[in-house]
């Protein structure tokens, strides 16, 4: 059950000499979809949370490629939360075109406090952030 | 046991606003290391093999991020063949800096015949290509 | 006088360690806006034109950066045709945010016939393509 | 007269569906060559200069594309300083392959003090930095 759906049009610069979307770009597409989902909930991957800068650096990412995607195609992107731990969240993404699966992937991020000079320190996901993420919090 | 070792210097354009290498770029780094390994064996991800154009589109890719990598750092990259199947090959990559693990990942590609207009069709990895890949073939 | 207006939201992966959009990415933004403009006229940078594959490789590109653009900002992008020659077209782009100029740039492309194996040969812009580009042609 | 020469091998991910290096990537190549030149002089585009963080954001960039560059080709890159003003420096780059011109471009950067939160303020290029840039300073 996806929480959020968006679309992504393949740009010329997303392709490679094989004539298809370069495999690394699906990770950018996932990140953009995640951010769009977060925005829809009043959240961001990098934001001020009650006076504290927090961020969500990635700890793992994976993608399975089923069919190629080509220039100017519009991909449907479904985003769901696969798992929320104390400190981390895993998103699952599904890319399809006209109902046909193109690729699916996962990205796991950990909640961090961002200190001086971009140094980071893992923290528990703030309760209010978590609530909004799950769609139960107030905005 | 790695088959091949190379290095990669982090460029300014590889970083993101968190001050570290953007996670998607590790997939480009893996691909470049794979291609460098293949070149060292007289192979390529896209080449003419006895008159037939072959390519190795990716079917899956994953990466675990352990420590951030920053601008101008030189990463050590170790490449090994994790598995060779009839039609596919999986590479494992390890990124480190001064002996400290930064990230590790895997990429699986399938051998394809490249037809007209970049259309592709999965085939068995040609015996000679496989032999060179494993370091047992003639050049 | 701009022919076409669109918007572009800055993604996390568009930024660099200076916390702003990496300068090279504005060229991708220009290309995407150009393609969106062309689509609005039933055209593309790579298409079949009456049975002949044509493309528009770039011969020059430039950008002046006035103010930085940051993550999640929505940029307004204005596209106009600066000049159409016999074989080439120059687009001018203006990026702004809330009426404030961020950057402006130009890209010149030449019309080419795409032959076997991605080889290209410069040709005159087909009359029908030119007419649509200028908004005077039929669709 | 170039100050510095380096090489750049075209990676698979640098190409686009036209089978050649995507035009925007030449700007990344220029930046990497600039940084390599600066490193050779003990400098960087982002560094601590006597206790003050300085950076060199770009104010303009341009490139003319003469011939396409393809996967696995090794490009020769020549870097020279086109002009040094009080606050800015313009580099000129020439990409060639086997003596044949592929592309040439320019990038102008301004010297800035980097304040809290990546805010910047234009300053004169420090005399010592300028001397090293011109090859007359001590290391």
What does the pLDDT read at residue D116? 80
Q: pLDDT-based confidence at A1, cuts 50/70/90?
A: low
Do strands B46-49 and B52-55 pair parallel, antiparallel, or not at all (unpaired)?
Answer: antiparallel
Q: Which two tokens stand for residue A109?
A: 């991020």
What does the pLDDT read at residue A13? 98
Q: Is D70 on the interface with B (CB under 8 A)?
A: no
Contacts of D55 in chain C (CB under 8 A): 18
Among all chains, which residue has been given the structure tokens 């003469």?
D66
Burial grade of D1 (CB within 10 A; 0-12, 13-18, 19 or more) = exposed
Mean pLDDT of A23-45: 97
Burial grade of C96 (CB within 10 A; 0-12, 13-18, 19 or more) = middle
Contacts of A16 in chain B (CB under 8 A): none
What does the pLDDT read at residue B138? 64
What does the pLDDT read at residue B11? 98
Contact between residue B134 and residue B61 where contact means Cβ atoms under 8 Å apart: no
What does the pLDDT read at residue C136? 82
Q: Which two tokens stand for residue A120?
A: 């980071």
Q: Which of A88, D58, B71, B24 is nearest to C12 (CA)?
A: B24
Asked if A13's CB is within 8 angstroms of D17's CB, the reply is no
Contacts of B61 in chain A (CB under 8 A): 23-24, 62-63, 65
Beta bridge partners of A112: A55, A122
User: Using CA atoms, how far apart are residues C130 and A77, in angstroms rounded to an integer?
Assistant: 35
Q: Give the C-alpha distances (Å, rounded to integers) separating C4 from A74, A117, B26, C125.
A: 21, 41, 36, 21
**Helix ranges (DSSP H) in D25-83:** 25-40
Contact between residue B28 and residue B63 where contact means Cβ atoms under 8 Å apart: no
Least confident window among B45-49, B114-118, D121-125: B114-118
What does the pLDDT read at residue C88? 97
Contact between residue B107 and residue B60 where contact means Cβ atoms under 8 Å apart: yes
For residue range A129-139, list pLDDT tens digits in order.
999 999 886 66
Q: pLDDT-based confidence at D43, cuts 50/70/90?
A: very high
Q: Is B58 on the interface with A (CB under 8 A)?
A: yes
User: Using CA atoms, how far apart are residues D23 and B90, in angstroms rounded to an integer?
Assistant: 31
Mean pLDDT of A38-48: 95
- What is the percentage of chain A residues whose pLDDT exceeds 90? 89
CA torsion sign for D21, D23, D28, D31 is positive
Give the one of B17, B24, B31 whose C-beta lies nearest to A27's C-beta.
Answer: B24
Mean pLDDT of D85-109: 98
Q: Which of C88, C72, C71, C92 is nearest to C80 (CA)?
A: C92
Q: Which two tokens stand for residue A104?
A: 């699916």
Q: pLDDT-based confidence at B76, cuts 50/70/90?
A: very high
Q: Average pLDDT over chain B, rounded to whole?
A: 95
Quote the minimal CA–CA distance from D58 to chain C in Å.
7
CA torsion sign for D37, D39, D45, D49 is negative
Burial grade of D71 (CB within 10 A; 0-12, 13-18, 19 or more) = buried
Q: Is D59 on the interface with C (CB under 8 A)?
A: yes
pLDDT at B65 > cutoff 60: yes
Closest chain D residue to the Cα of A25, Cα to Cα: D13
Quote the minimal CA–CA distance from D8 to chain C in Å.
17
Contacts of B18 in chain C (CB under 8 A): 17
**Other CB atoms within 10 Å distance of the CB of residue B106:** 17
Contacts of A45 in chain B (CB under 8 A): none
What does the pLDDT read at residue C75? 98
Q: Average pLDDT over chain A, rounded to whole?
A: 95
Burial grade of A100 (CB within 10 A; 0-12, 13-18, 19 or more) = exposed
Q: Which of A89, A97, A106 is nearest to A31 (CA)?
A: A106
Q: Which two tokens stand for residue B51?
A: 């008159």
Give the one of D19, D23, D59 whose C-beta lies nearest to C64's C-beta.
Answer: D59
Mean pLDDT of B48-57: 94
Residues in chain B: 139
**D94-108 burial by CB neighbour count: b if 16+ within 10 A, else e?**
bbbbeeeebbbbbbb
What does the pLDDT read at residue D13? 98
In order along its 139 residues, chain C shows pLDDT tens digits of 568 999 999 999 999 999 999 999 999 999 999 999 999 999 999 999 999 999 999 999 999 999 999 999 999 999 999 999 999 999 999 999 999 999 999 999 999 999 887 789 999 999 999 999 998 866 6
pLDDT at B135 > cutoff 60: yes
Q: Which of A104, A100, A101, A112 is nearest to A82 (CA)?
A: A104
C-alpha torsion C54→C105→D16→B30, nearest 10: 180
Q: pLDDT-based confidence at D93, cuts 50/70/90?
A: very high
Closest chain D residue to the Cα of B70, Cα to Cα: D46
C-alpha D28, offset from chain centre: 8
For residue range B26-50, list pLDDT tens digits in order.
999 999 999 999 999 999 999 999 9
Q: Give the C-alpha distances (Å, rounded to integers) separating B111 from A65, B124, D15, D112.
A: 14, 6, 20, 50
What is the Cα gyration radius of chain C?
Answer: 16
Q: Which helix (H) or strand (E) holds C105?
A: strand C100-110
Least confident window among A43-57, C21-35, D37-51, D125-139: D125-139
Quote the minimal CA–CA distance from B17 to chain D in Å.
10
User: Using CA atoms, how far apart are residues C78 and C75, in angstroms rounded to an integer?
Assistant: 10
Q: Average pLDDT over chain D, rounded to whole?
A: 95
Residues 17-56 in D contacting C (C-alpha not used; CB under 8 Å) = 17-20, 23-25, 27-28, 31, 46, 55
């Amino acid at each position: 059950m996806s929480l959020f759906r968006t679309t992504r049009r393949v740009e010329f610069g997303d392709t490679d000499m094989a004539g298809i979307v370069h495999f690394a770009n699906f990770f950018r597409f996932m990140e953009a979809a995640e951010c769009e989902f977060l925005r829809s909930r009043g959240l961001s991957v990098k934001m001020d949370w009650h006076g504290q800068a927090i961020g969500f650096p990635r700890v793992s990412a994976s993608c399975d490629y089923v069919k190629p995607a080509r220039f100017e195609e519009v991909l449907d992107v479904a985003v769901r939360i696969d798992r929320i731990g104390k400190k981390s969240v895993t998103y699952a993404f599904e890319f399809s075109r006209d109902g046909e699966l193109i690729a699916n992937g996962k990205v796991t991020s950990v909640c961090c406090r961002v200190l001086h000079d971009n140094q980071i320190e893992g923290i528990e996901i703030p309760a209010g952030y978590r609530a909004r993420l799950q769609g139960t919090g107030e905005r």
